[in-house]
């Protein structure tokens, strides 16, 4: 990939100003089409699109940039929206918990650009379907069948699917984030949630490629995954634990990625090593069960302050990690193991993405009001020798939120082929437009060059409707369309004919000239 040192993102769009307008505001020359909103029918069976759309991935059909499957995470459901009008006919008059389980998880929809250039959903799709609180998953990896998951080899349902990632073998990873309340509310075993799930959008019956939960990636408040091939041919998966004072992780597969094996590479997510970042030392620390047990059972063990804040005691941690603790203990209680081994507590790590230009890794640390980081920051990690398998790294604060940069509460990230980092923001609804957040207007989408003369500067590309956060930005391969989810708008967006409530919806943004975004030509070389 060649990058012009003069790259200026605002050469391809005129940045917008922060605004409180109740609309998805875009720069001159750009427009959007609503693809699917809460309650829309998605297939011939009559399934409907769920609530609070989040992460999106476009899976081209036959390599097309204009027809494909769009995976959409559906993070959680607000009980005020449990109206029969949003339910499929086969879900009418069901108990509220049944409706809740139906309307979150994820959706596969088929989308295409019609002859007039409008992006639409194709409800005749044979692939379109829902993955939700009723889908059966295989539990795979070190915790499968262990007493830590009640001996289970299967789990029913997925919850709190926030962000995720695409694998190198064209399947979908989706992350179970704030699962605790939802699992408890539906009386489900908590240990079956908090994992990274994998689904093949092209397996329309979910039979050839059984949906699975990958316990080797650990159990915590998973935000997203990003995957890169190491110099030895293995792969690394970077992940954040989105809670206050929580850690950044990386998984390295034991085996090597073999493109010829296609989806069978999924097995590589069952056997590998999980590490946690110690930012002070610039080292990745292996999450080793024997080492955790040794520390917890030492006579001088004292509870780290971060775990004290979560009401852990010497006794509770010794029960969590018995003297003969196995990897299953570590995979089920990953945050506790990580802190005990010296993982650095950070300010709510949300998305991580790999820069396609130089393999540096970007982390959205959204905020941590407890110690005054009210606007958050974006951290950049440089692995030693640019190898994802390195055990040592350097890091910098790439950009800080606030009035100077223009953004606050960075959340989901994506890269374009010119190494511009696209960042959506998630100021909480109760903060938007108030106090120190007033200057920022509604939540938005920002473009930050990672090289060249504007490195680290933020240019605002979009502003969302009132109350919403923008989530899940994802480009088509030709970069002529950008998918984006508008989550929890509160007033009356998207105002289509017949809409009576504000509705979470996923859109396609048009007006891009294609790769490279600022030069109008291809730069892959
Ligand atoms: Fe669901 Fe961390 O955002
Ligand atoms: Ca959210
Ligand atoms: Ca998020
Ligand atoms: Ca967030």
Per-residue confidence band for 11, with pLDDT thresholds at 50, 70 and 90: confident
Q: Quick check: CB of 75 below 6 Å from ligand 1?
A: yes
**What ipTM, to 2 d.p.?**
0.96
Q: Where are the alpha helices (DSSP H) in 82-238?
A: 96-102, 179-185
Give the pLDDT mean for 53-80. 97
Average pLDDT, integer, range 113-132: 98
Percent of the residues in the chain that have a pLDDT greater than 90, as a whole number: 92
Per-residue pLDDT reduced to its tens digit, 380-413:
999 999 999 999 999 999 999 999 999 999 999 9
Q: Whose CA is nearest to atom 3 of ligand 1?
A: 162
Distances (CA, A) of 503 to 33, 156, 222: 14, 27, 25
Residue 5 has pLDDT above 70, yes or no: no
Q: How far is CA 223 from the centre of its chain?
A: 5
Cβ(226)–Cβ(243) under 8 Å?
Answer: no
Q: What spacing in Å lies between the alpha carbon of 351 and ligand 1's midpoint?
A: 9
* Ligand 1 atom having least distance to the Cα of 366: 2
121 Cβ inside 6 Å of ligand 1? no
Mean pLDDT of 420-442: 97
Q: Residue 112: which residues within 8 A CB-CB, separation 6 or more?
A: 66, 67, 68, 119, 120, 122
Burial of 112 (0-12, 13-18, 19+ CB in 10 A): middle
Atom of ligand 1 at shortest range from CA of 75: 1
Measured distance CA(331)–CA(287) in Å, rounded:
9
The answer to whether the CB of 469 is under 6 A from ligand 1 is no
- Angle among Cα 179, 185, 186 to the nearest 5 degrees reads 90
User: Rounded CA gap, 408 and 68, in Å?
Assistant: 33
Distance 328 CA to ligand 2 centre (A): 29
Q: Please give the Cα distance from 442 to 464 (Å, whole number).
A: 6
Ligand nearest to the CA of residue 425, numbered in listed order: 4
Q: Which ligand is nearest to the CA of 468?
A: 2
Flag whether pLDDT at 523 surpasses 70. no
Cα-to-centroid distance, 407 and ligand 1 (Å): 17
Sorted by sequence, the CB contacts under 8 Å of residue 194 that are 6+ apart come out as: 176, 179, 180, 219, 220, 221, 222
- Ligand 3 center from residue 413 Cα (angstroms): 10
CATH of domain 9-287+341-510: 2.120.10.30
How far from the centroid of its chain's Cα atoms is residue 8's Cα?
27
Q: Is the pLDDT of residue 150 over 50?
A: yes
Overall average pLDDT of the 211-216 stretch: 98
CA distances from 334 to 182, 307, 340, 375, 524 (A): 20, 12, 10, 27, 39
Distance 242 CA to ligand 4 centre (A): 8
Q: Which two tokens stand for residue 353?
A: 């993405």
Regarding the beta carbon of 223 and ligand 1, being less than 6 Å apart is answered yes
CB atoms within 10 A of CB 210: 15
Q: Is the CB of 162 under 6 A from ligand 1?
A: yes
pLDDT band at 453 (very low <50, low <70, confident <90, very high): confident
Pair 470, 461: CB distance under 8 Å: no
Asked whether the predicted pLDDT for residue 227 surpasses 80, the reply is yes
Asked if pLDDT for residue 257 goes beyond 60, the answer is yes
- Does 350 contact ligand 1 (Cβ within 6 A)? yes
Which of 360, 366, 332 lies closest to 347 in space, CA to CA?
A: 366
With 0-12 / 13-18 / 19 or more C-beta atoms within 10 angstroms meaning exposed / middle / buried, residue 195 is buried
- Residue 381 has what DSSP assignment? E
Atom of ligand 1 nearest to the CA of 348: 2
CA of 125 to the centre of ligand 1 (A): 30
3-state secondary structure of 373: strand
Q: Which residue has the higher pLDDT, 184 or 112?
A: 112
- DSSP character string of 30-71: -EEEEEEETT-B-STT--B--SSEEEEEEEESTT-SSEEEEE
User: Ligand 1: does its nearest atom lie under 6 Å from the Cβ of 347?
Assistant: no
First to last CA, the chain: 5
Place of tokens 């200026």: 8
Q: Determine the 3-state secondary structure of 150 from DSSP.
A: coil
Per-residue pLDDT, averaged over 134-153, amounts to 98
Q: Which residue puts its alpha carbon closest to atom 1 of ligand 1?
A: 162
CA 107 to ligand 4 centroid distance, Å: 20
| Ligand with minimal distance to 413 CA | 3
Scanning the structure block, which residue is given the tokens 């005054």?
372
**Residue 282 in this model has a pLDDT that exceeds 60:** yes
Ligand 1 near 241 CB (within 6 A): no
In the reported structure, the alpha carbon of residue 352 is separated from the centroid of ligand 4 by a whole-number distance in angstroms of 13
Give the ligand whose atoms come closest to the C-alpha of residue 487.
Answer: 2
Mean pLDDT in residue range 209-213: 98
The pLDDT of residue 9 is above 70: no
Ligand 1, residue 426: give the atom nearest the CA: 3
Residue 335's H or E segment, with its range, is: helix 334-340
Distance (Å, whole) CA 92 – CA 178: 27
Mean pLDDT of 181-185: 85
Ligand at minimal distance from the CA of 243 is: 1
The domains of the chain are located at 9-287+341-510
Closest atom of ligand 1 relative to the 350 alpha carbon: 2
What sign does the dihedral 346-348-354-355 (CA atoms) show? Answer: negative
Taking the CA atoms of residue 184, residue 485, residue 102 and residue 144 in that order, the dihedral angle to the nearest 10 degrees is: -60
Q: How far is the CA of 469 from the centre of ligand 2 (A)?
A: 7
The structure tokens listed for 285 are 């620390």
**CA–CA dist 29, 14 (Å, integer):** 9
- Whether 42 and 442 have beta carbons less than 8 Å apart is answered as no
CA 23, CA 28: separation in Å to the nearest integer? 14
What average pLDDT does range 402-431 have in this prediction? 96
CA–chain centroid gap for 143, Å, is 23
pLDDT at 516: 56
Q: What is the pLDDT of residue 10?
A: 58
Model pLDDT for residues 461-500, shown as the tens digit of each residue: 999 999 999 999 999 999 999 999 999 999 999 999 999 9
443: CA distance to ligand 4 center in Å?
Answer: 11
Q: What is the pLDDT of residue 187?
A: 87
pLDDT in tens, 310-369: 999 999 999 999 999 999 999 999 999 999 999 999 999 999 999 999 999 999 999 998
Tell me the pTM. Answer: 0.96
Say which ligand is closest to the CA of 367. 4
């Amino acid at each position: 990939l060649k990058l012009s040192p003069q790259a200026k993102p605002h050469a391809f769009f005129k940045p917008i100003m922060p605004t409180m307008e109740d609309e998805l505001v875009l720069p001159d020359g750009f427009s959007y089409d609503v693809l699917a909103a809460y309650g829309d029918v998605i297939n011939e069976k009559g399934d409907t699109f769920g609530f609070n759309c989040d992460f999106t991935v476009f899976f081209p059909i036959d390599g097309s940039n204009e027809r494909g499957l769009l995976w959409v995470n559906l993070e959680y459901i607000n009980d005020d929206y449990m109206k029969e009008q949003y339910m499929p006919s086969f879900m009418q008059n069901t108990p509220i918990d049944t409706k809740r389980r139906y309307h979150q998880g994820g959706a596969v929809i088929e989308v295409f650009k019609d002859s007039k250039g409008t992006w639409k959903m194709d409800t005749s799709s044979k692939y379109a379907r829902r993955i939700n609180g009723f889908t059966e998953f295989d539990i795979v990896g070190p915790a499968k069948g262990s007493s830590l998951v009640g001996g289970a080899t299967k789990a029913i349902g997925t919850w709190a699917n926030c962000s995720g990632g695409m694998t190198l073998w064209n399947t979908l990873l989706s992350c179970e984030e704030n699962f605790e309340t939802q699992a408890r509310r539906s009386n489900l075993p908590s240990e079956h949630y908090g994992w990274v799930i994998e689904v093949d959008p092209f397996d329309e019956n979910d039979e050839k490629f059984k949906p699975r939960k990958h316990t080797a990636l650990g159990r915590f408040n998973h935000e997203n995954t990003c995957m890169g091939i190491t110099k030895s041919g293995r792969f690394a998966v970077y992940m954040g634990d989105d809670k206050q004072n929580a850690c950044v992780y990386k998984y390295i597969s034991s085996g090597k990625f073999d493109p010829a094996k296609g989806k069978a590479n999924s097995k590589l997510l069952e056997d590998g090593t999980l590490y946690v970042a110690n930012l002070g030392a610039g080292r990745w620390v292996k999450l080793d069960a024997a080492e955790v047990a040794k520390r917890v059972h030492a006579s001088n063990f004292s509870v780290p302050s971060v775990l004290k804040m979560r009401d852990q005691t010497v006794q509770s941690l010794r029960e969590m990690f018995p003297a003969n603790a196995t990897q299953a203990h570590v995979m089920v209680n990953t945050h506790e193991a990580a802190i005990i081994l010296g993982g650095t507590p950070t300010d709510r790590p949300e998305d991580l993405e790999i820069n396609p230009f130089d393999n540096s890794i970007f982390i959205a640390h959204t905020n941590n009001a407890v110690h005054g980081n009210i606007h958050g920051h974006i951290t950049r990690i440089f692995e030693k020798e640019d190898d994802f398998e390195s055990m040592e790294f350097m890091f910098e604060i790439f950009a800080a939120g606030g009035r100077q940069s223009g953004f606050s509460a960075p959340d989901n990230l994506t890269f374009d082929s010119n190494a511009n980092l696209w960042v959506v923001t998630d100021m909480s609804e109760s903060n938007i437009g108030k106090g120190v957040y007033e200057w920022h207007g509604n939540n938005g989408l920002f473009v930050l060059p990672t090289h060249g003369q504007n490195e680290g500067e933020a240019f605002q590309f979009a502003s969302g409707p009132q109350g919403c956060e923008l989530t899940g930005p994802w480009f088509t391969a030709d970069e002529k369309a950008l998918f984006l989810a508008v989550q929890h708008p509160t007033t009356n967006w998207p105002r289509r004919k017949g809409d009576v409530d504000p509705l979470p919806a996923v859109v396609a943004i048009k007006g891009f000239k294609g790769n490279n975004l600022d030069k109008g030509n291809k730069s892959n070389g």
